[in-house]
Structure 1
Amino acid sequence: MRHLRRAPARYALRHRTYLWLVDPDRLPVLPRPLRALAGFRAADHFTGRAPSIRAALDGFLAEHGVDLEGGRVVMLAHARVFGHVFNPLTLYWCHGPDGTPRCVVAEVHNTYGGRHAYLLHADARGAARVAKDFYVSPFFPVDGRYDMRLPLPGERLRLSVRLERPGAPPFTATVRGTRRAASVPALLRLALRHPFSTLAVSAAIRFHGVRLYLRGLPVQPRPGRRSRESAT
């Protein structure tokens, strides 16, 4: 994962981790001794009140007039590790019953406990635009728009989110990765290489936030409660 900020101070960061690419209707269940290394809970997504992640997604889509009619969903997210999870961005590629892409849902979490979901109608290249409608970084106000490139992952993962703001250079986040089978040996290697992986993500966000603050970046006030979803 890479972030590049161009103004008011140039700042770049790079962080290595691993994500899960799963079907929320068939979430993986690890052998009991390893279950602390990966878990998925409906409480960690959308309103947190649905009986399953898929039910939560379908409820969100229904609010926006979208019915997948039982079509397949592919989800990219962090799993719970030793009881902790933090997902800055969870993606859901949604298909109709014939396999035709219907939409993409981008669910964003901030470090203040807030959640927000964007409904995206991406083109054939996975490109979509949406107005920013959620407070994420304390150094950016809630304005501008996101230009996203979110193609369905194949053997390679190549995602980008570019924040465009009036009169300011863009902020860009990219994610690159290689798809691997989720075997027990592979998971153990990743757990050893990236222990407490989701805790490390949230800690890294705070660490870099402190560094930017010490460099003099002005903090933007956090707005009041906003709606949880947008569409484009």
Structure 2
Amino acid sequence: MNMHIEEKALGIKSWSPEDRPREKLILKGRSSLSDAELIAILLGSGTTTLSAVDLAKKILLSADNSLHRLAHLTIKDLVKIKGIGEAKAITIIAALELGRRRKNLDADEKPKITSSKDAFDVLKSELLDIPHEEFWIVLVNRANIVLKKQRISIGGVAGTVADPKIIFKLALDELASGIILAHNHPSGNLSASVADHSLTKKLKEGAKLLDIQILDHLIIANQRYYSFADEGVL
């Protein structure tokens, strides 16, 4: 009997309409909902002892209440949480991926890069939330307007390889005047390795022969980045 009362108290249907996530979104707008309430809408239902909102709070707690960390979790990670099956896990991952892709949509006017922060903003949607290293380039014209961004290679957890021939071919094909190099460190370490410095120097010397500038090399780790240009080591 007591358990029946507890379950009823936890059920979203027993809440005031303006406190239920779906109804709250309709009545007050999407910005009024907490992260847990938005995730609860994705879940659709909770368990026999947890409402969808409480289950969503449990999911967030497993990611230290960080949407950024939640985006790193895999289906295998999510299904370890009691009450989360494969279908719910897939729904959460799909929603977070849509959010990541939305960030990646270019505005009608192509962005202009005037600082390392601008370059980071252009690249972060590609290099955040992935468990392996990738090497990307951004090609710009003489006015530093972005012409194209392109992934060059995919590596493992510890490193990736960037082929200068591929990089310079892309730059010549786009008639680029400048190149911004970038790769991520899944470990979160922002330090540039000896190999990072060596590759940057090699590409800078090769670019001079083609009248192309290497404008920067970013190392991206989580929400932070290291800029060779800002540090004066380019």
Quick check: which has more Rg, 1 or 2? 2
TM-score normalized by the length of structure 1: 0.27
Higher relative contact order, structure no. (Cα contacts within 8 Å, ≥ 6 residues apart): 1
Structure that is richer in helix per residue: 2
TM-score normalized by the length of structure 2: 0.27
Structure that is richer in strand per residue: 1
